């Protein structure tokens, strides 16, 4: 090819080149790539610059999410929204590859690498020379928001470099207690805090999502680490979560020693007219301990109990109310979390309901108000606050009026208290072998459960929707209601021995447990157990396991374990005694419903088969049908946990226990 020395590739500054790559190199070295592309864009329709002009930030980089855990930031507020950035980018693939992400300040992407020399490595001059020689020019006012080759990845709980440095400085005094703990990267901390508010916050609503900011509590790094530890589990980063758990627990123990091992009511309730920093610090340490306790029970870790003080008090401003409502919710959440040890592991109650002397949590509308005006409006619409002891007493008193309205969190606290009462009533039985409680206890608790159900139904915020993360407390409370009805007539909690973390032993113990008696007293328990099975069947067994389990509270899975055992053993009881004690109309209808649900579940799993002629259900005996349903039901429950997406180790234990139970039942 004849070289004519023609320079057909011209820059806007007037310089011309024979090859496109030389022009591109000139543009980059000449520091006017963005301007040149912008000028070219004037002559080409529908093309926008790859890099927008730098815009200094006008608001704080940290943006808290709304009550649902999602960012308040609208895409319309994104400086890059609406620009056709991809069209111009892919018009020149080479330019895209050369500039993608490299025009951002690297300290915003890799703060650990550029914040200072790594203490584990010496400073190498050759590496500094390489960085200087190879990295493209960064304008002095360059900002991470200037990158428009790719859309910004939204992070609702973004932690800035300065905030990350503050957190690292805050934990430094506790280095000796933390045994060489290294704070995860800025990106990891942001991801973990986001994970907490997206996937766990709705189960334990103790942090006010509108006003909570990690950078506002530098004196309480234990809370930030506890939040991040739980969030790391929700992001399946178990090793990181365990390290942060240990670090946060070390700081909590140190803080408890600083405060004298116990937070008094005076510390938490100080400041009716104003809330001082010491009160906030005390509350945050208690909240951190609570989150670590929840972490411990779901990941088989050991931790210590917390203490609960006096009831809430009145307030006049949103800031004061936020603090005091946080105290109340923390107390109620401590009761709920400690009660998990009793509900799940059959441990004696660490915190009796008689010691919970506080108001029930406020309405969701008040708690999620985005500003003080919305909060005052929500308060005008909300029912009067009610103390826990008063509400609990009303449930156990048949003559008390039934007009109280409780929030979903409040209902969850009350049903936990009733479960604790069932546990204590069983401990008081003279005959430890009896499956059902004493008649007097049965009557009292049955009335309380019926009154609780009525209160749940009339509460405007109650939602039964397993797919709605915002309905977590409502859905979990109904699971605990079913668990309460089953435990009135069974001793599964004590025989399954979950605390030993041996699924084979748990499954075998449940298989050997007594079958429930067939009488009218267990109708409510049967209906709730059937409903528990119907939920995954309705939405699809696989999709429920793979998508919904991640968002469900742990106690729903404990309910599954006992519901599966109760329902399958009741079917075996029908099979064993239907000749001597014919099935009732209710039992016949319920078996028909279970048969239909089992068929639909097997269809969803691809297990269904067309029955052979002459082998229709109508021609099978009741005993054969009941035994067959029991076996198929156990197999489906076991399959539900095969490929779940729950991040918690206890969920895996329950799934393996269900599988062992199904195998043991098949051998019996």
For 340-360, what is the mean pLDDT? 90
The predicted pLDDT at position 45 comes to 37
The predicted pLDDT at position 551 comes to 82
Of these ranges, 147-161, 299-313, 317-331, 430-444, the one predicted with the greatest mean pLDDT is: 317-331
On the question of pLDDT at 215 being above 80, the answer is no
- Spatial distance between the Cα atoms of 528 and 520, rounded to a whole number of angstroms: 14
- Spatial distance between the Cα atoms of 86 and 179, rounded to a whole number of angstroms: 48
For the chain, the average pLDDT equals 75
For 168-194, what is the mean pLDDT? 89
> pLDDT tens-digit profile of 55-85?
333 333 334 444 444 444 433 333 333 334 3
On the question of pLDDT at 272 being above 60, the answer is no
Element (H, E) at 553: none
> pLDDT tens-digit profile of 412-425?
999 999 999 999 99
The predicted pLDDT at position 275 comes to 57
Q: How far is CA 559 from CA 354, 395, 474, 531, 552, in A?
A: 25, 22, 15, 11, 12
Q: Is the dihedral of CA 331, 335, 341, 347 positive or negative?
A: positive
For 132-141, what is the mean pLDDT? 37
Give CB contacts under 8 A, 24+ apart, made by 493-497.
493/343, 493/346, 493/423, 493/562, 494/346, 494/426, 496/561, 496/657
For 106-118, what is the mean pLDDT? 36
On the question of pLDDT at 245 being above 60, the answer is yes
Higher pLDDT, 127 or 452: 452
Higher pLDDT, 275 or 595: 595
**247 close to 181: Cβ distance less than 8 angstroms:** yes
Half-sphere exposure for 223 (CA within 13 Å, toward CB): 20
* Three-state helix/strand/coil letters over 123-152: CCHHHHHHHHHHCCCCCCCCCHHHCCCCCC
Contacts of 629 (CB under 8 A, 6+ apart): 571, 591, 594, 595, 598
Higher pLDDT, 545 or 434: 545
Provide the 8-state DSSP code for 314.
-
């Amino acid at each position: 090819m004849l070289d004519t020395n023609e320079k057909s590739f011209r820059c806007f500054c007037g310089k011309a080149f024979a090859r496109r790559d030389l022009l591109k190199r000139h543009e980059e070295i000449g520091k006017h790539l963005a301007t040149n592309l912008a000028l070219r864009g004037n002559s080409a329709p529908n093309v926008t610059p790859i890099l927008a002009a730098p815009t200094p930030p006008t608001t704080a980089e940290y943006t808290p999410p709304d009550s649902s855990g999602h960012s308040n930031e609208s895409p319309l507020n994104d400086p890059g929204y609406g620009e056709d950035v991809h069209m111009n980018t892919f018009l020149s693939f080479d330019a895209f590859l050369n500039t993608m992400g490299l025009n951002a300040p690297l300290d915003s992407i890799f703060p650990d690498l550029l914040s200072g020399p790594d203490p584990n490595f010496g400073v190498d001059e050759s590496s500094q020379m390489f960085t200087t020689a190879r990295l493209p020019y960064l304008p002095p006012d360059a900002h991470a928001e200037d990158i428009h080759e790719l859309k910004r990845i939204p992070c609702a709980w973004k932690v800035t470099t300065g905030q990350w440095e503050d957190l690292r400085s805050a934990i430094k005094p506790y280095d000796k207690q933390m045994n060489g703990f290294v704070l995860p990267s800025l990106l990891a901390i942001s991801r973990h805090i986001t994970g907490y508010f997206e996937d766990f916050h709705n189960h334990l609503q103790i942090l006010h999502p509108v006003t909570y900011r990690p950078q506002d509590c530098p004196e309480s790094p234990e809370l930030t680490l506890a939040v991040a530890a739980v969030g790391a589990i929700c992001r399946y980063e178990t090793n990181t979560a365990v390290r942060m758990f240990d670090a946060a627990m070390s700081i909590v123990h140190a803080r408890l020693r600083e405060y004298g091992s116990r937070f008094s009511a005076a510390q938490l309730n100080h400041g009716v007219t104003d809330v001082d920093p010491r009160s906030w610090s005390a509350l945050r340490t208690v909240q951190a301990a609570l989150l670590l306790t929840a972490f411990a029970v779901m990941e088989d870790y050991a931790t210590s109990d917390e203490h609960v003080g006096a009831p809430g008090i009145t307030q006049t401003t949103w800031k004061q109310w936020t603090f005091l409502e946080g105290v109340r919710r923390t107390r109620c959440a401590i009761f709920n979390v400690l009660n998990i040890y009793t509900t799940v592991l059959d441990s004696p109650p660490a915190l009796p309901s008689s010691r919970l002397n506080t108001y029930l949590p406020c309405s969701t509308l008040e708690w999620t108000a985005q500003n003080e005006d919305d909060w005052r409006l929500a308060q005008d619409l909300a029912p009067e606050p009610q103390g826990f002891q008063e509400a609990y007493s009303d449930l156990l008193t048949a003559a008390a009026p039934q007009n109280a309205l409780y929030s979903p969190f409040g209902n969850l606290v009350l049903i936990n208290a009733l479960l604790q009462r069932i546990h204590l009533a069983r401990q008081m039985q003279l005959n430890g072998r009896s499956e059902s409680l004493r008649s007097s206890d049965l009557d009292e608790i049955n009335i309380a459960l019926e009154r609780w159900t009525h209160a749940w139904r009339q509460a405007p915020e109650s939602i039964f929707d397993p797919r709605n993360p915002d309905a977590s407390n409502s859905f979990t409370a109904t699971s605990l209601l079913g668990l309460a009805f089953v435990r009135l007539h069974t001793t599964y909690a004590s025989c399954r021995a979950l605390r030993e973390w041996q699924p084979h032993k748990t499954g075998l113990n449940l298989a050997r447990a007594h079958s429930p008696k067939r009488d009218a007293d267990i109708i409510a328990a049967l209906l709730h157990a059937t409903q528990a099975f119907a939920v995954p069947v309705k939405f699809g067994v696989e999709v429920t396991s793979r998508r919904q389990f991640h968002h469900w509270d742990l106690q729903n899975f404990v309910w599954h374990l006992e519901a599966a055992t109760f329902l399958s053993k009741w079917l075996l009881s029908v099979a064993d005694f239907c000749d001597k004690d014919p099935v009732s109309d209710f039992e016949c209808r319920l078996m028909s419903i279970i048969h239909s649900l089992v068929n639909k579940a097997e269809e969803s799993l691809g297990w269904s088969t067309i029955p052979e002629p002459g082998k229709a259900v109508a021609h099978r005996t009741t005993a054969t049908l009941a035994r067959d349903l029991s076996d198929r039901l156990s197999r489906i429950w076991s399959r539900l946990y095969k490929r779940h997406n729950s991040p918690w180790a206890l969920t895996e234990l329950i799934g393996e226990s269900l599988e062992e139970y199904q195998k043991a039942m098949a051998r019996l």
